[in-house]
Structure 1
Amino acid sequence: MILLGTAALLPFSSLQAQEVAQETAQAGGGLDEIIVTARKVEENLATAPIAVSVVSDRSIANLGLTSIDDFARQASGISFSQAFGRSSDRPVIRGQSNVLANVQFGVETGAAYFVDGIYYQGDLQAFDPEQLARVEIVKGPQSALYGRNTYAGAINFVTKDPTSTWTANIRASAAEYGEYVASGSISGPILGDALTFRAGGRYSEYGGQFTNQLTGKKVGQEQTKIGYLTIVARPSDDIKIRLRGEYSEQEDGPLALFLTGSALNNCSPGFRSNAFRQVGAPFFNNVPAPFGNTIGATNNNQYLCGAITPQPDNIRLNTDPVQTPFGVRDGTAFDGIQNKQFNASAIVDWDLGGSGFVLSSLTGYRKLLNRFGTDSDHSDAFFFFAGGPPPAATVEPTFANTNKKNFEDFSQELRLATPVNKPVRAMVGLYYYKQDFETVDLTFANPFDGEPLGSNLSQVATIENKAVFGLLAWDPLPGLTIQGELRYQEETKTLLDRASATSFFCAGEQANAAQFGFAGTCLPKGKWTGTDPRITINYTTPGGTLLYAVYARGRKPGGFNGTGGITANEPFYQEELAEGGEIGIKWSSQDRKVSVNATAYYNKLSGVQLTNSIIGTTGGALTSIVTNTGDARNQGFELELAAAPHPDIRANINISYVDAKFTSGCDADLFILNSGGLRVNFDTRNPPAAALPLCDITGKQLPLGSSYQVNGSFSWEPAITETLRLTTNLNFSLEDKKYIQTDNFAFVPGAFLLNARIGFRTASGIQVVAFGRNLTNEDAVPLATRWFDYRYGFAGRNIPAGQTFNGAPAAVETGAPRAFFAPLRRGRTFGVETIMRF
């Protein structure tokens, strides 16, 4: 029986069924049978009419995959790169991206995470890969079935069910740069098949590869502790109850970030450059050449065109006390990342009286405490906006980014499905999601608990999503299925942003804010509603080839811009919509030794949420905000090839190409660069005719995503004796360059990564392997972020008077010169790993 839940009500779990199918396929030299739940129903990957890439537990173990970054490099159509260590995830599916996603609160990616089908808001980089049965990367608009924030796709982490027989595994590894990992799990019956459990945990640490030049200490350290428990109860043949809980702690050191300073800018001459800065502003810095404020001080270029190159000797972060002319100073009250997180879920599938009508309930809960700190000017400057003598040593510099955040999430989904073995099938469901969010500033006075809620730099926010959804499927002819899906949802957000001791963010509908510790009654609300359809038509030929076509619409939530948005007269930004379709084909040989999955797609993107640092104001530079200032489209194809010509050999290759470009839009920063440094004093959504050529982004590629990717793996496991096998595998990924912003001037280069493993595996379940990661020692930075360089001063100087534009007086942009910061990629690393399965 196949259900519209996360697991079928079978005598044994779907995972066990999949393992049996894999063993059978391997014995005959065929490809593994993979079961997916990408459409909320269990179905074979080879016959599911949807574009989904699957990373199985076998691939995770054999290839040594440990992170979402690794998973993305073994799938098609997804790009993932860490820019802020293990925080602020920004997965990009089919080129649909946003520069501020998960960096500025409320700005979200278009691809959401799910764990066992339950929505997961935020990052997902601290987990035990041993507990995963598979990772499903579902591509294209998925709002109809998956709901909020899946307008580009969904990433579903499916954890392993307990087993009805006793099993256990231990896994340990050690590698260069102080990397140690140990994990283990045990699974078995409590009351026979009626009550089973799986429990496990993982400890990992990484000592860091790069050094902070100011302190002489390593940066980029990571430590993770995880424990989890899954219990499955089957009180009868018709009911399955699955309870799961997980607790994790993450302690990471200062991030390995370097600054490509404005001294290296090489294009777009103009007033927003070092040559027009007021050197001698209130900051201290002693940066040596060529990155200091004496080298390049006359550079009149406003921007960097070309590749961001790695600079491991330019990590210069004030993350610890250092000697300065003002005495011993520390630039940050808290350094690194700390997460303490608890997740719980309860999933119930009930076949009502054995009728085939299935009632499913999915309940999720998460509580997360996050502390984050970094020296955000990414240099040894001590910069203060206040004039006069330097503040006391107990005052943080202006760009010390240190805060504490609390998240609490709850979700509930109910759905009723008709029998799946009928020519007409249906499902209806209800959904509710609520998130409460609080953040406060961490200071030297309060480096652990932070300043009181309601003080400067506090935020209180909520997200509430309600939805009703359903599907109707019909088989009018043998092999032909038509399925329609529809979701109506309402999303409400609130935000109270205290940006200074005297100012609040007030806009729209307001409610009492005193309950959050804030004076006054300023708690603005925004509400967005919408209906999203998805229609699939698929036909399976008599020979078993699957052909399908999909039409779908999806949406990414709107939100608030905070106090900066009020100043710019942009308090809200609206939803971003995606609408389009795809066609696909899936073919497998009769002996299951070769399979081909291919899809081509086109989507129209409306109201793309773009990042702007200055918009609609005659004041100075603003904190970055989001506006719906452009439209775009993405089109491309994906090809996945897999082969198992022999029981000892497995190979696959994935190729994807995406052409994601803007079809309209005006970017404020592009105007500044092309105008020679004039400030934007017009509405970028309706620019005057004379300004459009200077700000037009039509034809520009969407940032953060690459145009093409090629990846794959090859495994060979020949028998040496009856009880011993050699195990070898290679996996690689090649990814094109990624533009950093909508201007398409600066980019991070393409990268080629090669990993290998070789070892021995016994029939009793013991495996010892040696591995090498990044064997090519690829050093291309994975991602970069546009930033500022205050080491040359803040205020403008020597700017000619009487600037005009389009025959009218024009103000000069006097904000700090542009620069870029980026993380460093880990270099070639060797290690050993031992696995014992019982």
Structure 2
Amino acid sequence: MKPHHTQLRPFRRRGISLALAAALLSAGIPTAFAVEETTKAENKQTSADQEAQPALGTVTVTATRREASLQSIPVAVSVLDGRKLEQSNLNSIQTIANEVPSLTFRQQGGNKDSSIFIRGVGTISTSPGIEPTVSTVIDGVVYARPGQATLDLMDVERIEILRGPQGTLFGKNASAGVINIVTKEPSADLHAYVDTSYYEGGEKRIRFGLSGTLVPDLLYASINGLWADYDGNVKNLLGGRLNGYEREGARAKFLLTPNEDLDITLIADYTHGTNGVIAVPYQTTDSTFTQAISPVQVSKGNRTVRSDGKNEVTDTNQGISAQVDWRINDYTLTSITAFRTWDNKQNTSVSGIGNNYDPARIATGYPATWDRGTVDSSQFSQEVRIASPKDKFVEYVAGVYYLKSKTDEVYQRYAETISGANYFGRSDYGVENDSISLFGESTLNFTPEFRGIAGLRYTHDELSFDHVRNSNVPSGIQSAVRASQPLRKGTTSASEYSGRLGAQYDLSKDAMVYATYSRGYKGPAYNVFFNMFDGNNDTAPLEPETANSFEIGLKSALLDNRLIFNAAAFYTKYKNYQANAPEHVGNNVYIYRLINAGEVSTRGVELDVNAKVTSRLSFSGSLAYVDARIDNLNCPPTDAACQVNGKPLPFSPKWKSAVRANYAIPLNNGYVIDLGTDYIWQSKQQFSLIPQTDATIQEAYGIWNASVALSTQDGWRFALVGRNLLDRSYASTLSGNASVAQRYVPRDDARYFGVQVRKDF
């Protein structure tokens, strides 16, 4: 006889799949991303029966650190189905950002500088001395650095986007939200697949996997691999294409079930990727800059550069983890032990010209500059928690969490100045962090309809840094490379509470309302970076960032579960907001310094709807109104451009929406044709904190996508995918000032088509 938990796995997997076909609203996952194939027995159901009883299923999530129905938890959550994301060529956190209206992504020259934003709030900094504001969690393991999660995702079951502060259960780097990624469990039955795709622009992908039983009733395993290659969508006039990538990876998962009350899950993963990210000239009023980049034609839709340098970032991300789930008298004791490493190498230009020495270009006033950097990061984490039995007066999850992380960086910069001087500098610096926390959250079932929520987390942080720089820049000279600095060290610590209080009430068996107050916390930080210097207290620690958030929500299922409608309204105030702010230090040189920038706030409303119109036709839509603004910014005293109080936070469009539809056509021979389409629109957004100019505003735009797929009974699937059918050019990031601006070009910047072929065995 199979262990009890293993017996449930095939049923749970099927239930989740069918549910994802229906859940939209609070899951934010459009129906086009939620429909999964049914079992062979379910395929035999007559069309008449299907038309008579169309309904949405139940989506199960782990947003509360235990399995629960999405519609039953007092948390605003969006859910994306991994299989459908792959089918739409959405393979990373960056590419899914358009799918959830409250989620945005900041692309920069390197993965270590990229950031995730939820409800308009995120972290913008290149320093290893600061934590992300949005936490990325994969199979229960928190990723300490945001760059660790920028490569392709593998074998994803679903992605849960938890909106708003989640510090009680997920920790200090979740003060704006959580990206909770859950991978697929090994199957009991033998299953294999090969998935290949080709898209215009020379983008090629291969995925494969094998899953099944190694030892009956005891050991189950799965292994998955990927390879991807993309030429890029930016043309270099000096030869070749840029903005592409090459990636490969593998992931193995083992499930050991010694008895019906014990599960042991072991995971090992490895991904390696090389990205050629580059910014292209977007807008300029400076004739000397135009002369320097000639014959590039600057425009809002430009995808051409003249670069004589190498822009390439390489990442290697790997780790192992062990999760033990032990069920004792309806209690579940969980232990998650993990060790991860992340290596990042950067070879980039920080000018709009290129890397190589060119006196003619120096004469124009735009000297060449290049950067070389390496990041070596490692982390060890241990979490132990207990979940009480359900359906009691008091239900709770409580535990202890420990994280130790260490990041070492080496950064080198070579700059050619207008005067003809050649400057070179190298900085060696690092950060160590030790964090321990105790947490617990309980649900009090006062009546069958009325429940209270109370949670608290205590966190203690120890943070230290070291930094030394050697350069040939004379003291007192202001340039892109600063003068040498001796070895400096610093240590700080902080202890803080975060928590949640709230109540929820069932209006009926199909509708629930809730109201919560949450306090978020992000630990202390150091402004550790290449040009770190003693002035302006750069070596002093930053105070922890805190958030106070209020949220009310409605979750409902109407028309016999054929329509799901969810809504949430929120207000969050952040104090000691940690952000990069530019400071003018002379000779047109700006230093971006990490500071406690002041106070910011975000408020808004989020709506999600999911409808099963007929058994063949599904519809979903989501809309977010987010007003994220700067309330009071601590400006550098010498910077007049810093008068931005009342202006919007960067990377936060005020309006964003997504609508999707899917129509399935069963054929007489057992084949099924799936027609899918979606349209994503957002209002204009500002990309700069300081200064805020028209040059760094992305105007409103909409992206229309569509697909048609043919599935057979013997496991084949053939699909044609069209992305950005209206050929709308847009930017993932704009940088610069009123005279010169550059943009980062997303994959979907222009219309393209692709074909996919998948075979399941």
TM-score by length of 1: 0.78
The residue aligned with 1:298 is none
Structure 2 residue corresponding to 1:771, chosen from 721, 724, 746: 721
Structure 2 residue corresponding to 1:80, chosen from 68, 89, 105: 105
- 1:437/1:99 CA distance change after superposition, 3 Å: closer
Identity %: 22
The residue aligned with 1:66 is 91
What is the Cα deviation at residue 11 of structure 1? 3.3
**Residue pair 1:112, 1:119 contacting (<8 A) in 2 also:** yes
Distance 2:670 2:558 in 1: 31
Residue 733 of structure 2: SS of its match in structure 1?
Answer: coil
What is the Cα deviation at residue 758 of structure 1? 0.8
Equivalent pairs counted in the alignment come to 696
What is the Cα deviation at residue 602 of structure 1? 0.6
The residue aligned with 1:685 is none
Residue 436 of structure 2: SS of its match in structure 1?
Answer: strand
- 1:87/1:53 CA distance change after superposition, 3 Å: same
RMSD, aligned α-carbons? 3.1
1:578-593 correspondence to structure 2 within 5 Å: 578-589=547-558, 591-593=560-562
User: How big is each residue's C-alpha offset from its partner over 1:472-512, in whole Å with a ceiling of 9 and x where there is no partner?
Assistant: 22101112111211111112222212233599xxxxxxxxx
The residue aligned with 1:634 is 602
The residue aligned with 1:530 is 496
What is the Cα deviation at residue 382 of structure 1? 5.7
The residue aligned with 2:26 is none
The residue aligned with 2:9 is 12
The residue aligned with 1:450 is none
Residue 721 of structure 1: SS of its match in structure 2?
Answer: coil
**Residue pair 1:92, 1:109 contacting (<8 A) in 2 also:** no
Structure 2 residue corresponding to 1:317, chosen from 307, 311, 318: 307
Distance 1:663 1:652 in 2: 35
Distance 1:766 1:312 in 2: 37
Distance 2:263 2:354 in 1: 58
Q: Does structure 1 residue 370 correspond to structure 2 residue 370?
A: no
**Residue pair 2:405, 2:434 contacting (<8 A) in 1 also:** yes
The residue aligned with 2:381 is 411
Distance 2:513 2:155 in 1: 34
What is the Cα deviation at residue 818 of structure 1? 6.4
**Residue pair 2:413, 2:426 contacting (<8 A) in 1 also:** no
- 1:588/1:8 CA distance change after superposition, 3 Å: farther
User: How big is each residue's C-alpha offset from its partner over 1:360-397, in whole Å with a ceiling of 9 and x where there is no partner?
Assistant: 10112211221111111121476799xx99xxxxxxx8
Structure 1 residue corresponding to 2:315, chosen from 321, 324, 339: 339
Residue 568 of structure 1: SS of its match in structure 2?
Answer: helix
Task: Compare the two structures and name the one with the higher strand fraction.
Answer: 2
What is the Cα deviation at residue 142 of structure 1? 0.7
Structure 1 residue corresponding to 2:542, chosen from 559, 573, 581: 573
What is the Cα deviation at residue 773 of structure 1? 1.0
Tell me the amino acid that sits aligned with residue 325 of structure 2.
Answer: D
Distance 2:283 2:357 in 1: 15
Residue 499 of structure 1: SS of its match in structure 2?
Answer: strand
Q: Does structure 1 residue 106 correspond to structure 2 residue 100?
A: no
**Residue pair 2:98, 2:680 contacting (<8 A) in 1 also:** yes
Distance 2:598 2:155 in 1: 42
The residue aligned with 2:418 is none
What is the Cα deviation at residue 583 of structure 1? 0.3
What is the Cα deviation at residue 404 of structure 1? 1.3
Q: Does structure 1 residue 823 correspond to structure 2 residue 744?
A: yes
The residue aligned with 2:693 is 745
- 1:62/1:221 CA distance change after superposition, 3 Å: closer
1:477-516 correspondence to structure 2 within 5 Å: 477-501=447-471
The residue aligned with 1:511 is none
Q: Does structure 1 residue 210 correspond to structure 2 residue 234?
A: yes
For structure 1, the residue ranges without an aligned partner over 5 or more in a row are 1-6, 266-273, 293-307, 321-334, 390-396, 445-454, 504-517, 674-694, 788-816
- 1:336/1:705 CA distance change after superposition, 3 Å: same
Tell me the amino acid that sits aligned with residue 369 of structure 1.
Answer: D
Tell me the amino acid that sits aligned with residue 310 of structure 1.
Answer: G
Residue 70 of structure 1: SS of its match in structure 2?
Answer: helix
Structure 2 residue corresponding to 1:243, chosen from 266, 271, 274: 266
User: How big is each residue's C-alpha offset from its partner over 1:232-274, in whole Å with a ceiling of 9 and x where there is no partner?
Assistant: 0111111111111111111223x23113466359xxxxxxxx9
Distance 1:766 1:586 in 2: 37
Distance 1:520 1:87 in 2: 25
Tell me the amino acid that sits aligned with residue 696 of structure 1.
Answer: Q
Tell me the amino acid that sits aligned with residue 222 of structure 1.
Answer: Y
Structure 2 residue corresponding to 1:610, chosen from 579, 592, 609: 579
Residue 85 of structure 2: SS of its match in structure 1?
Answer: helix
User: How big is each residue's C-alpha offset from its partner over 1:89-130, in whole Å with a ceiling of 9 and x where there is no partner?
Assistant: 311100113433xx3333443111000121012225565555
Distance 2:296 2:86 in 1: 45
What is the Cα deviation at residue 549 of structure 1? 0.8
Distance 1:699 1:583 in 2: 25
Distance 1:85 1:647 in 2: 45
Structure 2 residue corresponding to 1:169, chosen from 170, 193, 198: 193
Distance 1:697 1:216 in 2: 42
Distance 1:70 1:553 in 2: 30
Distance 1:291 1:570 in 2: 40
**Residue pair 1:201, 1:228 contacting (<8 A) in 2 also:** yes
User: How big is each residue's C-alpha offset from its partner over 1:147-189, in whole Å with a ceiling of 9 and x where there is no partner?
Assistant: 0211000001100000111111111011111111111111111
For structure 2, the residue ranges without an aligned partner over 5 or more in a row are 22-37, 44-49, 415-424, 474-483
Distance 2:638 2:687 in 1: 13
The residue aligned with 2:568 is 599
**Residue pair 1:496, 1:522 contacting (<8 A) in 2 also:** yes
Distance 1:58 1:225 in 2: 19
Tell me the amino acid that sits aligned with residue 342 of structure 1.
Answer: Q
What is the Cα deviation at residue 624 of structure 1? 0.8
The residue aligned with 2:618 is 650
Distance 2:671 2:6 in 1: 37
What is the Cα deviation at residue 541 of structure 1? 2.4
Tell me the amino acid that sits aligned with residue 50 of structure 1.
Answer: V
Structure 2 residue corresponding to 1:435, chosen from 393, 405, 408: 405
The residue aligned with 1:402 is 372
Residue 646 of structure 1: SS of its match in structure 2?
Answer: coil
